[in-house]
Amino acid sequence: MTVLGTRTGVRIRRDHVAVLVTLGLLVAMFTAGSIAYPAFGSGQVVIDLFIDNGFLLVIAIGMTFVILTGGIDLSVGAVAALSAMLCAFLLERWHWPVAVVLPLVLLVGAGIGFAMGYVIHHFEIQPFIATLAGMFLARGLCFVISVNQISIKNPFFTEWAQTRIPLPGDMNLTPTVLIALAVLAAAFWTLHYTRFGRGVYAVGGNAQSALLMGLPVTRIRIGAYVVSGLCSALGGVLFAFYTISASGLHAVGTELDAIAAVVIGGTLLTGGSGYVLGTVLGVMLLGTIQTLLRFQGTLSSWWTRIAIGALLLLFIVLQRLLGSSRPGR
- The confidence band for 107, taking pLDDT boundaries of 50, 70 and 90, is very high
Average pLDDT, stretch 39-62? 93
The whole-number pLDDT of residue 285 equals 94
- Rounded to the nearest integer, the mean pLDDT of the chain is 91
Pairwise pLDDT comparison (322 vs 150), residue with the higher score: 150
- The confidence band for 6, taking pLDDT boundaries of 50, 70 and 90, is low
The whole-number pLDDT of residue 200 equals 97
User: In this predicted model, what pLDDT tens digit does every residue of 218-241 receive, in sequence order?
Assistant: 999 999 999 999 999 999 999 999
The whole-number pLDDT of residue 18 equals 83
Average pLDDT, stretch 187-201? 96
According to DSSP, the residues that pair with 246 across neighbouring strands are 150
Selection from 232, 269, 265, 264 nearest residue 251 by Cα:
232
Parallel, antiparallel or unpaired: strands 245-246 and 150-151: antiparallel
- The confidence band for 52, taking pLDDT boundaries of 50, 70 and 90, is very high
Pairwise pLDDT comparison (230 vs 13), residue with the higher score: 230
Is residue 42 over pLDDT 90?
A: no
Is residue 3 over pLDDT 80?
A: no
The whole-number pLDDT of residue 1 equals 47
The whole-number pLDDT of residue 90 equals 96
User: In this predicted model, what pLDDT tens digit does every residue of 262-290 receive, in sequence order?
Assistant: 999 999 998 998 999 999 999 999 999 99
Q: What percent of the chain has pLDDT over 70?
A: 94
| Domain segments of the chain as ranges | 49-288+301-311
In sequence order, the 6+-apart residues with CB closer than 8 A to the CB of 61 are 183, 184, 187, 231, 276, 279
Q: Name the pTM for this structure.
A: 0.93
The whole-number pLDDT of residue 204 equals 94
- CA–chain centroid gap for 243, Å, is 18
